[in-house]
Chains A and B, each alone.
Chain A
Amino acid sequence: MAISNGVSDGALLSKPSNEDQPTLERTQCVYNPLQTYLLPRGETKHYQQQYADMYFARLAQLKPAVERIAAEAFSDFEIAGQAAKKVDRVLDVRQGNLCWVIGTVYMEMPLKPNVLEDIGKEHWIAAPPPREKYAGEGEQVMLEDESGRLRLTGASLKDWLLVTGAIISVLGTENSDGDFEVLDMRVPDLPRQPQRWERDDGEAAKKGKSVLNQTRSSGGKVAIVSGLSISGDAGDTLSLDLLLEWLLGEATGADEQSEAASISRLIVAGNSLSHAQPIPSREEVAAAKKTGKKTYGYDASSYNAAPTDRLDTWLASLLPSMPITLLPGPTDPTSTSLPQQPIHAAMFPHSRAYIENILPSKTDPPNWFDTSTNPCEVDIDGWRFLGAGGQTLDDVYKYVNGEERLEMMEAMLRWRLTAPTAPDTLWCYPFQDGDRFVMKECPHVYFVGNQPRYETAIIEGPQGQQVRLVAVPKFKETGEFILMDLETLTPEVVKIELFEG
């Protein structure tokens, strides 16, 4: 039974040695969370505003960018001697005139969730399962601005990725039906991308430090994992243990351990807990009704503390060795509307020792355990990372045909919107002064958690911007997590498996 001492068995399958084991020290990286998506707290947070303002703000913010690109592309466009002219408002489009106009896309889809239908559903015996896609027969694409709406048609329309909320410019002409026959389209495309270290250098310069002869050591790698989905109803967390041990550098042999030591940060990208959203789903409410149990508000007796506790201990075991960024996801215990606010430190009785400031200010050093917003923007080793917990991409996915999630991620970047479909089909905070989901700067890395499988690609922008896209798989289902090199921004996937024979 004892296995033979073959060559491959290595150093750990031998008698205990007396030689000293080296103490490994973890690589450090420079980490700066940008509080782009942090909402005001307390009295300054209001929910009385109309969502329409968000669309107006978004259009106003993105119009100049689209205009520049569209003007360049469409100004020379001629058909039968007629040059394309710019029209300022969608209602100013005149039949037969070749023109281009800018507006917000609105997708009318019969399968899109509808409040009235939802109410109706409650009276059905068996409600239909939630839709995987909204796309289907009878969908209409419209372009709207402050003045009104224009229905878009055209053969090329179905080839493009379009979702509600995207700001685009379309070239075409109004046909006899009053629809706008689209010939071509332009999007805002990637915004300006900061140079690596740009922000850090700027900060340093402000403080009067010399930037020139600064040496920066390599930040090693950053690990990204999502969808831990700790549920508490099954003892299925062994792969979580293995991940922990691997990251701590306790498992495996010396080579792997020193590699683990080069991982300078862990990012948990959403859905750490599987059933922790504070608002029960429609299905749960319906189920509760059937049992005839009337509960008003929160029912403490049904609360299971085990998953939260498990997550807390898991994080607390890692924190002595590595800093962690925790993004919430759709099933995590925090606000359900985007941008999701950081999971409160009260959820982490053990781990919160590593949170120095509950309300981080710009001047404080970032928290060692950084519970961040979703989406979140951070600078790691000078690179700009944009991360999301997954619901933004999942919602875009419902609008479009096809499965290419990387294309959708690319489109979101080119629309310059981190959450294009909010507030149409995603809950979000009614921003008043400017839509925060509009990207001001182009990230170097865009990762989205809780995706069906690992995918990655690099896209390029008109000014030579390069963005690394990463779809992070669900750890619970795949056992996979991502290691990203902070010098080359090359991702690598590592899989934890239990071999069942």
Chain B
Amino acid sequence: MAQDYTEWLAVNVLNEQQNVNYRNLSRALKVHSNVAKQMMYDFHHKQNSKKPGSVHAAYLITGTKKPTQTNGIHSQKDGDDTFMRSSPPLPSSSIPQPDEDEATSTPIRSIMLVKEEHLDQAKELFETMTSIHIYSLQANGLNDFQPLTDCNRRIAAEYASEDPLKEWKTYGSIQNPSVRRRTRKTGPPPPAAPAAKPEPVKAKATAAAATKTSAAEIKESTKPTAKSSGAHAQPEGTSKPPQSKKAASSIFKSFAKGTAKPKKTESQASSAAASSAPAPVAEAEDVPMTGFSDDDLDDDQADGGLPDEEAKEPSGKSKKEREAELQAMMDQEDEPMEDAATPAADEEKHDDGAIDKAESQPKEEPKETVTVENGRRRGRRRVMKKKTVKDEDGYLVTREEAAWESFSEDEPAPKKAKVQAPATTKPSAGKKGAKPGQGNIMSFFSKK
């Protein structure tokens, strides 16, 4: 074990010049965080006795601080404040009148991060110290603490696939026996059956998206049969959340090997390359949420060359093709599914379904992005909602739309119309000829 940590720290701190905190170490070696702290101390001690100054540490001190002499807020306030109330603010007031010294005399519990060079100085501020340990190690001194946020960001990115409920015990996180998480009610296999047809085609192109749709639909269909009472929990329970937790968990993998993995590695690579910015991590985390990550991509493009549509169009078109296929598949698939789902349709579900809708949006989003415009994520989401609505009513889209319009903001309704129209027209040309004409008023204003 001794070799393990010495080596790991030597590689990461000395060679790679990374900032490493005890959590990185504890996760890398699968040891308790308290042991990791001791390991860091040991390493720090040894290295510096060999060669002073070769490793720098930041310490975390907890304890009670000595009361400070001046209370900044108070004195400042006393300066400006001319208003003195002579009687209580309300006749029945029982509030204790503030005591001038009260605020200054209470000791403050503090958790303080200190650089090695300031350690003694900081220690003097404390009346009692309850603990002190090494928080992080770095080859060169820290100018600023903020780079240390990168340590936890790496953890979030690299260990996203771990199940916190199982693995975190090793690291010494406080365990909570009563934690409740939605569990997947329908495992990946059953979904696969209904979604089987579409998949082969979709898989390569927008596999991730497809999985979501199919999964969502499956939920819908399984709902009534599986548990009528647990209707709330189930729709959401269908595994998406767990997925998002572990970037590439089962459903995702099973359906989306093609796209999901490349994406992930890509983003990880990029995060490794430029680990400073939050963006890479965000991407990596986003992967499971296909829709969102797609949006991110769009954003990136938009940032690059916002005004010109051409910039977007190329990428859009390549997507379009895939989506065309996908849409075709979905269209076929939708009908049977709806039949299955209709019996279950009731108001409550609608509302519960909000999340499902949100999740299912991602599937279609890519298509819509292409056709409509990169702009409106939200609008699209709404669209998706409508879509689920569709399922229940069996393609009585227009009816449902009207209902939504009346409650919610003006934007969503028009968007649906748009989105659907383009998406469908491209794959199966003229399938819904009437809709294009109905397009969103927004498209009229867009730059052309």
Contact = CB atoms under 8 A, between A and B. Distances in A.
A354 B355 CA distance: 13
Contacts of A469: 95
B118 A499 contact: yes
6 contacts: A9-B132, A235-B278, A251-B60, A305-B282, A349-B288, A497-B111
B431 interface: no
B278 A160 contact: no
B89 to A, nearest CB: 4
Interface in B230-257: 232-233, 236-237, 241-242, 244-245
B407 A42 contact: yes
A400 B138 CA distance: 52
A320 B176 contact: yes
Interface residues of B, number: 132
Interface in A26-54: 26, 28, 41-43, 45
A320 B173 contact: yes
Most A CB contacts (10 A, CB to CB) among B95, B123, B165 go to B95
Contacts of A12: 34, 37-38, 41, 131-134
A233 to B, nearest CB: 10
A402 interface: yes
A25 B92 CA distance: 45
Contact of B73 (A1, A232, A452): A452
Contact of B354 (A10, A16, A358): A358
Interface string B283-317: 00110110010011011001100100000000000
Interface in A267-317: 294, 296-301, 303, 305-306, 309-310, 313, 316-317
B39 interface: yes
Given A21-B34, A460-B94, 13 more contacts: A186-B91, A252-B62, A253-B133, A297-B411, A320-B168, A321-B179, A344-B358, A350-B244, A355-B182, A358-B352, A364-B232, A404-B98, A461-B92
B30 interface: no
Nearest to A313: B156
A353 B48 contact: no
Interface stretch (B142-150, B263-271, B320-328): B142-150
Nearest to A156: B87
A486 B348 CA distance: 36
B62 A26 contact: no
B381 interface: yes
A414 B90 contact: yes
B92 A303 contact: no
Contacts, number: 365
Interface string A476-494: 0000000000000000111
A45 B112 CA distance: 48
B306 A301 contact: yes
A459 B276 CA distance: 49
A384 interface: no
Contact of B146 (A3, A238, A319): A238
A439 to B, nearest CB: 15
Given A21-B35, A23-B175, A494-B111, A309 B91 contact: no
A228 interface: no
A358 B44 CA distance: 49
A410 interface: yes
A410 B181 contact: no
Contact of B5 (A16, A189, A236): A16
A188 B319 CA distance: 64
Interface stretch (B188-196, B369-377, B392-400, B422-430): B369-377
Interface of A: 1-3, 8-17, 21, 23-26, 28, 41-43, 45, 156, 159-161, 184-187, 189, 232, 234-238, 241-242, 244-246, 248-257, 260-261, 294, 296-301, 303, 305-306, 309-310, 313, 316-317, 319-323, 344-346, 349-350, 352-359, 361, 364-365, 368, 401-404, 406-408, 410-411, 414, 452-453, 457-462, 469, 492-501
B292 to A, nearest CB: 7
A296 B441 CA distance: 10
B344 interface: no
Contacts of B2: 16
Given A21-B34, A300-B375, A346 B90 contact: no
Interface stretch (B77-85, B199-207, B214-222): B77-85
B312 to A, nearest CB: 10
A459 B95 contact: yes
Given A159-B87, A238-B146, A402-B83, A232 B179 contact: no
B229 to A, nearest CB: 10
Contacts of A459: 93-95
Contacts of A313: 156, 285
A355 B42 CA distance: 42
A2 B49 contact: yes
Given A26-B175, A261-B174, A301-B299, A246 B111 contact: yes
A322 B273 CA distance: 34
B26 to A, nearest CB: 8
A264 B32 CA distance: 22
B91 A354 contact: no
B179 A303 contact: no
A484 to B, nearest CB: 13
A317 B299 contact: no
A242 B403 CA distance: 47
A13 B132 contact: yes
Given A344-B354, A462-B92, A159 B85 contact: yes
A248 B174 contact: yes
A289 B49 CA distance: 63
Contacts of B86: 159
Contacts of A303: 299, 377
Nearest to A247: B174
Nearest to B298: A300
A414 B195 CA distance: 60
Nearest to B39: A16
B94 A250 contact: no
B309 to A, nearest CB: 12
Contacts of A458: 96
A15 B42 contact: yes
Nearest to A466: B94
B60 A352 contact: no
B53 interface: yes
B432 interface: no
Contact of A368 (B181, B285, B377, B379): B181
B69 interface: no
A309 B285 contact: yes
A244 B151 CA distance: 13
A457 B44 CA distance: 46
B3 interface: no
Interface string B1-27: 110010000000000000000110010
B176 A25 contact: yes
B187 interface: no
Contact of A411 (B90, B180, B282): B90
A359 B235 CA distance: 12
B92 A321 contact: no
Given A15-B38, A160-B89, A161-B89, A493 B149 contact: no
Q: Tell which of A8, A235, A255, A407 has the most Cβ of chain B within 10 Å.
A: A235
Given A189-B92, A300-B375, A356-B237, A242 B60 contact: yes
B352 A359 contact: yes
Contacts of B134: 12-13
A466 to B, nearest CB: 10
B137 interface: no
A320 B168 CA distance: 9
Contacts of A249: 172-174
Contacts of B352: 357-359
